[in-house]
Amino acid sequence: MQILHDMRAKDNRMTVKFKLDKEGKLTSMLWSTGKNKDDYERFGDAITFDKTYRTNLYKLPFGLFVGVNNHFQSVIFGGLLLTTEMTEDFEWGFSNFVDIMGGKAPQTMLTDQCAAMAKAMKTTPPDTRHRWCRWHVLRKAKQKIGSVYTKYSGFKGNFRKLITEETCKRQFELKWQRMIRTYKLEKNKFMTRLYRYRLRRAKPYFMGVFCAGMTSTQRSESANYMLKQINQRSAPMHVFVSKLNELQVQTGK
């Protein structure tokens, strides 16, 4: 893309990586500017990744790697453009992101509950703690077990308190089982999956794990929201990339 060539001409530390299929068609693209790399070197121990944005007419998924600086302001570390959302796509994106950053993997990475992404993060990056976004967990619960919210007035408060406040592993597990029995959720697949993967989202299992004060991917989501405000969905790809570059300049001020 000409605009990426133009950006690299102005920033000789910018890195762009492509993944092509057997026919030579673009399937994935990852890029990070020199400033992105500098910010990551200083603030990249805990990052979030959100892929909810959809680009241009083709609605391609786009994800942002985002963190916070020492003033708790959002900083962008890079962007990942995909055509599909398979495990191998995220493996390629995450491994190349770490490679771009000189081999430095984040200590902690927050994402939504995407199964393909979770599978990729079992091995890529291998030593990074994977944490589910608390906000996504609470929102998904309301979608999946909305009838429980309606039927039992006390469930919402009990569930939220257990997710956000309990710090003792034993107490968490005892209270969880009590909640499951109280609200008759023994056979609920969503709640069963939440408990199975409690290491990714329950507070007691993250005591002592550095997260830079972040509990959700809303840093990435807010950047995506800002991108929506300055870029029309129907805009061609080169305009999208240009607008993303503008956003990075804005968040870097």
* Contact between 223 and 64 (Cβ < 8 Å): yes
Q: Distance between CA atoms of 231 and 64, rounded to whole angstroms?
A: 15
What are the sequence ranges of the domains in the chain? 2-131+214-251, 136-200
Number of H helices, E strands in the chain: 11, 7
Please name which of 35, 32, 57 lies closest in space to residue 238, comparing C-alpha atoms: 57
Note the pLDDT tens digit of each residue in 205-249: 776 665 656 655 455 455 555 555 555 555 666 666 776 677 666
Q: Is the Cα dihedral 91, 94, 100, 104 positive or negative?
A: negative
DSSP letter assigned to residue 183: T
Note the pLDDT tens digit of each residue in 114-170: 899 999 998 888 889 888 888 778 888 888 998 898 888 889 899 989 988 888 999
CA distances from 253 to 47, 225, 229, 248 (A): 19, 18, 18, 9
The Cβ-side half-sphere exposure at 170, using a 13 Å CA radius, reads 0
Domain 2-131+214-251 has CATH 1.20.1300: no
Note the pLDDT tens digit of each residue in 46-99: 998 988 666 554 577 888 898 888 888 888 899 998 999 999 999 999 999 999
Q: Is the Cα dihedral 173, 209, 90, 253 positive or negative?
A: positive
Q: How confident is the model at residue 228, as a pLDDT?
A: 59
Q: Model pTM?
A: 0.80
The Cβ-side half-sphere exposure at 10, using a 13 Å CA radius, reads 8
Give percent above pLDDT 90 in the chain.
40
Q: Provide the H-helix boundaries in the chain.
A: 2-10, 34-43, 87-100, 115-120, 134-144, 146-151, 155-164, 169-182, 189-196, 218-230, 237-251
Structure-block tokens of residue 126: 């291998």
Q: Distance between CA atoms of 92 and 87, rounded to whole angstroms?
A: 9
